[in-house]
Structure 1
Amino acid sequence: MNIKPLTIGNLIAKIPVIQGGMGVGVSLSNLAGAVAKEGAIGIISAAHSGYLEEDFETNTLKANLRGLAKHIKKAKEISCNGIIGVNVMVAMNNYVEHVKTAIEAGADLIISGAGLPLSLPEITENSSIKIAPIVSSSKAVRVILNYWKKHFNRTADAIVVEGPLAGGHLGFKKNNLEEEISNFDTNILNVINEVKNFEKEFNKSIPVIVAGGVFSHDDFVKCLNLGASGVQVATQFVATHECDAHINFKKAYVNCKKEDIELTISPVGMPGRAIKNKLTEQLKNGKIKVTKCYNCLIPCNPADTPYCISSALIKAVKGDIENGLVFCGANAYKINEIVSVKDILNKLVFN
């Protein structure tokens, strides 16, 4: 198969793969830099990107913005100035500040989901950074891009369509999941067709990237044959030497079985896919008291949230995989060893 580069405006990735953003601390500069160095697109998650900064507990926002800038610059160095993007969730508090920090630090791309990024063109105005919303349906494409057209006379530089086999928070209702899984190919085609309308209107190419459950070379080829310009992959990159997470976190992926992967509740109000452990079992029996609020998510109220997702994710990425939240994609059980980023890309794209 003739593999074409992924072109997003003036950004050209010779390998049409975006490494998905994984917070907290799973995809920072080491992973993103290594992916971009190989010719794909590396993504840093803006979710608590400063969790290792000395003042994180006392001045969380300041630490996170400093950490984000630091990791963008370090990833650029590692990748020899490769393409580095940032995943910024709309549901985050201080969304604007994180986007602006990414721009100032030299990021090339903002990928934004967990809500509708309606204000993104305004925040990124007068910068050269590319913007790509994450959508779960053609309806979401219409809503976002019609709003951008009406209010900013702007459209997306790329679209990421994420399916129900993805890791972490899912943009689908739990009771519709099986139906969404069986309809995902049709959903991809519908998104591509919807995007074509905006390509014509703005006379520009808007590549569609498929995310969620892309694991094998066959998956990769199938997405391109459906008309996508590339894929976004996250789960596989956890089990790499270059991933920023603790070795225990990586081993949790290597050691998990299919039956260990389940949907759990989240303070965001969406289902989340994670590896079953002591924490997820506890949550089936009730709430876990929040002792400190990191003021991270807009929808979260410490008084009635089932648990603190920041605390749970930080514990996991630091290696406490029983009391922390280990988000993963549906195919994590297929991983059986820790390899290099280069190995993942070669197997996925070139087989």
Structure 2
Amino acid sequence: MNIKPLIIGDLIAKVPIIQGGMGVGVSLSNLAGNVAKNGAIGVISAAHPGYMEEDFEKNTLAANLRGLTKHIKKAKEISLNGIIGVNAMVAMNNYIEHVKTAIEAGADLIISGAGLPLNLPEITAGSSIKIAPIVSSAKACKLVLSYWKKHFNRTADAVIVEGPLAGGHLGFKKNNLDNDIVNFDKYVSAVIEEVKNFEKDFDKKIPVIVAGGVFTHEDMMRYLNLGASGVQMATRFVATHECDAHPNFKNAFVNCKKEDIELTISPVGMPGRAIRNKLTETLKTQRVKITKCYDCLIPCNPGTTPYCISSALIKSVKGDVENGLVFCGGNAYRIDKLLYVKELIDEMMGQSLAQPEIII
């Protein structure tokens, strides 16, 4: 099968891969820029992109919006104006401000999940930015796209269907996860069929991208053969030299075993997949004291939440992988070494490995 470019409106990625957005600080400008430079779509996470700014602790929102702008512009420079997206979680406070900042900074695409992005067309109205909801089922897809059609006469530029092997927050119930894993390919086919209805209504192509557990060239080809237009990968991009996270974070992926990967508690109310460590073991029996609230997630109540997810993610990305939260995909244990982004993309495209050209 000839691998076709991923076309999202007037955006054309010669490699049909989206690098998944990973916060806090795991996918910023260096990773996203190098992914886009190599023909795929690089994505910056809007979850605390300003955590390294000097005033982050005192003025978190301002630091994050400034950081998001800096990283989008830097990624564009690295990629020679490649395609750069921003992943913005619906569950985050100041969601609207982050989306509008991404538009102003020159991002090409907004990817939005961790809730239903029902008002995303309204927030992005008047701009040329592309919008792509993340869904876990045909039912969720129909709900979002029907709402957009009714209220905004607008549809998605792409739809990402994310499966139960994904890292981080999952849009699936913990007690049915094994069944969802087995049936995920059926869910993908159902979303593709659902999207066709809206393609007819709006007379436009709406590519479906598959995320969650995509690990090999063969995985990608299976989904392309099912009718998807591309795949989204996050976990494998962590184990790259260009990833923005601390080396300890990357090595946690390289060194973990299958039995180290487990579902843990999230203040958002969703199950989350992470690498077992001191923090996840502690959370099985007690809360972790919260000393500061970053006002990051709408569903979070500092008085009752088991731990501060922002603090936990910041610790891990800075290298404290025992006391921080290390989100990962279900296949993280299959990683055994670090690659350059170009090497990974070549592997996914079924090409022989070549010497990469990178900017760090």
State the TM-score bracket (shorter-chain normalisation): over 0.9
TM-score by length of 2: 0.97
Work out the number of aligned pairs and report it: 351
- Aligned to 2:86, the other structure's residue is in SS state strand
The code of the aligned residue for 1:114 comes to: A
Q: Does 1:314 align with 2:314?
A: yes
**Deviations 1:286-329 (CA, angstroms, capped at 9, x unpaired):** 11111100000000000000000000000000000000000000
Q: Does 1:168 align with 2:168?
A: yes
| Rounded Cα–Cα distance in structure 1 between residues aligned with 2:9 and 2:254 | 37
Aligned to 1:296: 296
| Rounded Cα–Cα distance in structure 2 between residues aligned with 1:170 and 1:311 | 20
| Rounded Cα–Cα distance in structure 2 between residues aligned with 1:161 and 1:65 | 28
Aligned to 1:234: 234
**Deviations 1:11-52 (CA, angstroms, capped at 9, x unpaired):** 000000000000000000000000000000000000000000
Aligned to 1:247: 247
Give the 5 Å matches for 1:48-127: 48-127=48-127
**Deviations 1:254-294 (CA, angstroms, capped at 9, x unpaired):** 00000000000000000000000000000001111111000
The code of the aligned residue for 1:142 comes to: K
- Aligned to 2:349, the other structure's residue is in SS state helix
In structure 1, list runs of 5 or more residues that go unmatched: none
Aligned to 2:354: none
The code of the aligned residue for 1:196 comes to: K
| Rounded Cα–Cα distance in structure 1 between residues aligned with 2:85 and 2:218 | 26
Identical-residue share of aligned pairs (%): 78
| Rounded Cα–Cα distance in structure 1 between residues aligned with 2:37 and 2:239 | 18
* CA-atom RMSD in angstroms: 0.5
The code of the aligned residue for 1:230 comes to: G
Shift of 1:224: 0.2
The code of the aligned residue for 2:92 comes to: M
In structure 2, list runs of 5 or more residues that go unmatched: 352-360
TM-score by length of 1: 1.00
- Aligned to 1:350, the other structure's residue is in SS state coil
- Aligned to 1:183, the other structure's residue is in SS state helix
Shift of 1:349: 1.7
| Rounded Cα–Cα distance in structure 2 between residues aligned with 1:146 and 1:242 | 39
Aligned to 1:266: 266
The code of the aligned residue for 2:244 comes to: D
The code of the aligned residue for 1:39 comes to: G
- Aligned to 1:305, the other structure's residue is in SS state coil
Runs of 4+ in 1 over 6 A off after TM superposition: none
| Rounded Cα–Cα distance in structure 2 between residues aligned with 1:332 and 1:182 | 18
**Deviations 1:203-244 (CA, angstroms, capped at 9, x unpaired):** 000000000000011101000000000000000000101000
The code of the aligned residue for 1:246 comes to: H
**Deviations 1:86-112 (CA, angstroms, capped at 9, x unpaired):** 000000000000000000000000000
**Deviations 1:34-77 (CA, angstroms, capped at 9, x unpaired):** 00000000000000000000000000000000000000000000
Give the 5 Å matches for 1:81-230: 81-230=81-230
